[in-house]
Structure 1
Amino acid sequence: MARAPRLPIAVVTLLWLVVLCRSTESPPYEVLHVESDFEIRHYRDATWMSATVRDLSFQKATLFGFHRLFQFIEGANLNWSRIAMTSPVVTSLVPGAGPLHSSAYAVRFYLPAKFQDCPPTPLPELNLEPYAWKSHYVAVREFSGFATDDSVLREAAKLATSLSLSPWANCTTDSDYIYSIAQYDPPFRFIGRVNELWVDVDASVFVGPGKATA
């Protein structure tokens, strides 16, 4: 059985800088509602590639998960297909125990349009799976700087406060994931970094049950 190429973490981090700087494709969305410090978006059905990582650190989990994903897009799949990198890299916290109320993370990226319907099969040792992210609405808070374990907790608290004071106060959902952190920039970009905190919300009260799941 063919084995995935093994690259040092430091090398993958450098390559992340290159691929994210030239990435052009992102998951499409529509903005439903805008407040001063967050907005509500609608993302339609889409296929992502996902790496599950069990670690208490969001930062370490993101790095280790992306290491596996990068091997996949560089050709460690049964088709030996090279896949263009997209942005953002999204790390979702899975409910559980730990400093971020999580014991596992799902690190994933959006598959380019040409692979949405038929994603290449990852080599088994990478332990990756396609993830069908169904149509959903999210409250999005943008923040700058580096996304760290501490900054994610601070931004999550700020978004929770903002939601509690808005018409969306009682609209958070019982999602499989508590929060998702979207990172748009490579690790070595120090100025003008853009990150987002995503929380699933139920938009049916505002757009109607049928439209909320469209």
Structure 2
Amino acid sequence: MEKPKLFLSYIILAVMMVDLCLIAQSREIESPQYTVVHSESDFEVRFYRDSVWMSAPAKETSFRKATKDGFHRLFQYIQGANLNFSRIYMTAPVLTSIVPGAGPLHASAYFVKLYLPLKFQASPPLPLPELNLAPDSWSSHCIAVRQFSGFARDSNIVKEAEKLAISLSRSQWANSTSHSEYAYSIAQYNSPFRIIGRKNEVWVDVAGSEANGCKSSLLASY
């Protein structure tokens, strides 16, 4: 019985993503606002503005399963499963934040997030309780970013995060990653139907502010 259920869940997700592709073709997708304050060949540092996201905690034990589960609930939310019955446009990226050791049996815990469009930033529609979602308000802060192509999978996201950590260790941001509860996040910008030219990113919070170019400072905290 498990295999038919699993197959059906993939069909439902595929239909959802086709819908998102059609939406993307008809309008520009909103993303969180940021300024690039430093750029190198293998990473850049961005200053992100205040923003509000909708977050879905996922109890799955793998990145792929957690992202699939969290996105499924977030999709229901933007399709009207909220107390306002509001339809919310899809945004990018789909962000999966990872907390090592916080899951069952000391596995990683995952939080899947969608940035809310500007129209809903000030007053996000409340999700239906059964979806187990919650707004996540971000204060402006600095994020180090590494891009990578292909599909984001359990087998490659740790390697990409390690590459970003190595790049940061050789830069002015060595030992200046912030004390965020999340070790890193994976941002995905494309539907699963896009095979080539895919865009993914590893995000890591770093200390600093826009005023000092997100440079490390003993006084920088948030």
TM-score between both structures, scaled by the size of structure 1: 0.88
Listed as ranges, the gaps of 5+ residues in structure 1 are 1-6
Q: Distance in 2 between matches of 1:188 and 1:133?
A: 30
Counterpart position of 2:89: 84
Match of 1:60 among 59, 65, 68: 65
Distance 1:11 1:53 in 2: 18
Name the residue aligned to 1:11: 12
How big is the shift at 1:212?
6.3
Which of 189, 197, 210 in structure 2 is aligned with 1:192?
197
CA distance in structure 1 between the aligned counterparts of 2:206 and 2:102, rounded to whole angstroms: 23
Question: Given that residues 45 and 214 in structure 2 are in contact (C-alpha distance below 8 angstroms), is that contact kept between their aligned partners in structure 1?
Answer: no
Deviations 1:115-162 (A, max 9, x none): 000011111100000110221111100000000011101101111111
Query: Deviation per CA, 1:143-189, whole angstroms, max 9, x where unpaired?
Result: 00000011101101111111111111121111111111000000111
Alignment correspondent of 1:4: none
Question: Given the alignment, which residue of 127, 131, 139 partners 1:122?
Answer: 127
Tell me which residue corresponds to 2:160: 155
Is 1:95 equivalent to 2:67 in the alignment?
A: no
Distance 1:136 1:17, change over 3 A: farther
**With CA pairs under 8 Å and 6+ residues apart, which has the higher RCO, 1 or 2?**
1
Deviation at 1:206, TM superposition (A): 4.9
- Secondary structure in 2 matching 1:75: coil
Question: Which amino acid in 2 is paired with 1:176?
Answer: E
Cα distance in 1 for partners of 2:39, 2:160 equals 17
The answer to whether the Cα contact below 8 Å between 1:90 and 1:181 also exists between their aligned partners in 2 is yes
The alignment's C-alpha RMSD in Å is 2.3
**Contact persistence 2:56–2:132 (CA under 8 A):** yes
Equivalent pairs counted in the alignment come to 205
Could you list the structure 1 runs, at least 4 aligned residues long, displaced by more than 6 angstroms after superposition: 211-214
Structure 2 equivalent of residue 202 of structure 1: 207
> What secondary structure does 2:195 align onto?
coil
Q: TM-score, normalised by structure 2?
A: 0.85
Distance 1:50 1:33 in 2: 28
Judge which range, 190-199 or 10-19, deviates more: 10-19
Partner SS, residue 56 of structure 1? coil
2:37 touches 2:45 (CA, 8 Å); kept in 1? Answer: yes
CA separation of 1:13 and 1:176: change in aligned 2, threshold 3 A: farther
Displacement of 1:9 after TM fit? 4.6
SS in 2 for 1:163: helix
Residue 13 of structure 1 deviates from its aligned partner by 3.2
Decide whether the 8 Å contact of 2:78 with 2:89 is kept in 1. Answer: yes
**2:43 is the counterpart of 1:38:** yes
Say if 2:185 and 2:202, in contact at 8 Å, map to a contact too: yes
Contact 2:47 2:214 in 1 (8 A): no
* Structure 2, unaligned runs of 5 or more: 1-7
Quick one: distance in 2 between partners of 1:74 and 1:155?
Answer: 32
Q: Would you say the 8 A contact 1:12–1:70 is kept in 2?
A: no
Partner of 1:174: 179
User: Within 2, Cα distance between the matches of 1:212 and 1:183?
Assistant: 29
